[in-house]
Amino acid sequence: MTDSPAVIKLLNGCVDLHCHSGPNPFPRRIDHAEAGKDGERLGMRGVLVKSHHHNTVMDLLAMRDRLAKISTPVFGGITLNSMVGGINPQAVAMSLRMGGRAVWFPTFSAGRHIDCHPEGVGFPTASVEVPSSRVDIHQDNAELIPEVHEVLDLVKESGAMVTGGHMETESITQLFAAAKDKGVTRMLLNHPDYVIGADEAKCRELVGYGAFVEHETGFYDPEGTKKWDPKILLDWIEKIGPEHTVIASDLGQKDRPLPVDSYIRVATALLDLGLDERSLRQIFCDNPAFLLGLDD
């Protein structure tokens, strides 16, 4: 398939909130600077790089000389898995105050993720043995632990984005309710139909707290690993609304498509299925730019 100049023009200024570039214990196709260079092909306004294992802000500071030569800015954040001490306000404060734009609540350490992948099924072999243990956000009485509130206060202070990670839907609901009460305005639900298991009703409930719902091109790309039918994605967009929907890549891994190639293929498929151009720009460009704080 030849890339359409019209599609490339429509995607100009898009933002990727879910790039898995390296360094990382898992094999990666590109590093963070290369992710930014890839983004230049679409004039991307920003790429947010995510690791399940460490604070990516420090990676970017170490790469600043390379990144300074790239027109697409690259941003980092921290995921609250056991590798960083779980729900660790001090680690969050360091990440955000050094330029981080996102806090992902537990992914690999979430109970829901562990239940779905008890032996790490579906994930590549790490270059080193990575220690991991379950991280919970609740006290024995089912209330949120104090550290969750400390983290949300830091998110509010910095204007960063918070996501529910790979937690079960009721934990994400409790987290987003608390975030809304504190005045947090940037909340994101990652891939509702992968691991998390959020149906339409639950997504609508979370949107009511101010959250956006993210879907990944890597799942719908015909050259990706899952090859889900783009009609499913269009159905999600129509049910939840483009004003509440975000498209990201969830790519950067070895032997998977480059994020920009995947963006072009999935955007083309959505347009061919009848998605209007305004909605396409809203979900690829406008909504993720807001979540990354690019319009402040």
- How many CA atoms within 13 Å lie on the side-chain side of 138? 13
Predicted confidence at residue 101, as pLDDT, reads 98
Distance CA 236, CA 232 (A): 6
Whether residue 22 is predicted with pLDDT greater than 70 in this model: the reply is: yes
- pLDDT of 15 reads 98
In the three-class reduction of DSSP (H, G, I as helix; E, B as strand; rest coil), residue 129 is classed as coil
Q: With 50 as the cut, is the pLDDT of residue 21 above it?
A: yes
**Mean pLDDT, residues 255-265 taken together:** 97
The answer to whether 130 touches 107, Cβ cutoff 8 Å, is no
Cis peptide before 5 (omega within 30 of 0): no
C-alpha 274/C-alpha 287 separation (Å) is 20
| Pick from 197-201, 207-211, 262-266, 292-296: least confident | 292-296
- CA gap 25, 243 in Å, rounded: 36
Q: How far apart are CA 112 and CA 194, in angstroms?
A: 11
- Sign of the C-alpha dihedral, residues 170, 176, 180, 182? positive
pLDDT digits (tens, 9 = 90+) for 143-161: 999 999 999 999 999 999 9
* Domain boundaries along the sequence of the chain: 5-291
Share of the chain above pLDDT 90, in %: 91
Given a cut of 90, whether residue 2 has pLDDT beyond it is no
For residues 96 and 109, what is the distance between their CA atoms, to the nearest angstrom?
Answer: 21
Distance CA 55, CA 119 (A): 24
pLDDT of residue 167: 97
pLDDT digit string, tens, across residues 110-121:
999 989 876 554
Identify the pLDDT of residue 120: 56
Q: pLDDT confidence of 10, banded at 50, 70, 90?
A: very high
Q: Using 50, 70 and 90 to split pLDDT, how confident is the model at 122?
A: very low
Task: Specify the 3-state DSSP secondary structure of 257.
Answer: coil
Across the chain, what does the average pLDDT equal? 95
pLDDT digits (tens, 9 = 90+) for 162-201: 999 999 999 999 999 999 999 999 999 999 999 999 999 9
Q: Are 18 and 50 in contact (CB under 8 A)?
A: yes
What sign for the dihedral angle of Cα 69, 285, 246, 269? negative
1: pLDDT strictly greater than 90: no
Residue type, 53: H
The answer to whether 246 and 214 have CB atoms below 8 angstroms apart is yes
pLDDT band of residue 136 (cuts 50, 70, 90) is very high
- φ/ψ (deg, to 5) at 8: -60, -40
Whole-number pLDDT of residue 132: 84
Contact assessment for residue 42 and residue 282, using Cβ atoms and an 8 Å cutoff: no
CATH number attached to the domain at 5-291: 3.20.20.140
Average pLDDT over residues 47-73: 98
